[in-house]
Amino acid sequence: MAEVVWTPQALDDLDAVCLFIARDSPRVAQTFAGRAFQAADRLALFPRSGRVVPELGIEDVREVFLQAYRIIYRVRGERAEILTVHHGARILDIDP
């Protein structure tokens, strides 16, 4: 089983998304956050289950989707590091 670790950047990104959603519905924002953590927790069992991020083409940098958002992570041995939570319509600008 892989260890799942959220980077500070990813937690900041998730917080920003939830604050944005909460302007319309705090309940929906709370549900979104819970689902984001559930999606990340599934990576403990299946760390390579996400697809390779097409813009990067790096085998160890992958993504899973949650609604319109991409949860982008890096697999390193027995560890999955959540790098960012990113809206799918935005240009991806990360340095893995």
Cite the DSSP H helix spans in the chain.
Answer: 8-22, 26-42
Token digits of residue 30: 């709370």
pLDDT tier at 12, thresholds 50, 70, 90: very high
> Where in the sequence is the domain holding 7, given as residue range(s)?
3-87
What is the tally of structural domains in the chain?
1
Mean pLDDT of the chain: 94
Q: What is the mean pLDDT of residues 54-64?
A: 94
Give the angle subtended at the CA of 84 by the CAs of 72 and 53, to the nearest 5°: 25
Q: Do the domain assignments include residue 9?
A: yes
Q: Do the domain assignments include residue 96?
A: no
Q: Is the pLDDT of residue 1 over 90?
A: no
Question: What single-letter amino acid sits at 14?
Answer: L
What's phi and psi for 75, nearest 5 deg? -95, 125
Q: Do the domain assignments include residue 94?
A: no
pTM: 0.92
Q: What is the mean pLDDT of residues 6-27?
A: 97
Q: What is the mean pLDDT of residues 46-65?
A: 94
3-state secondary structure of 96: coil
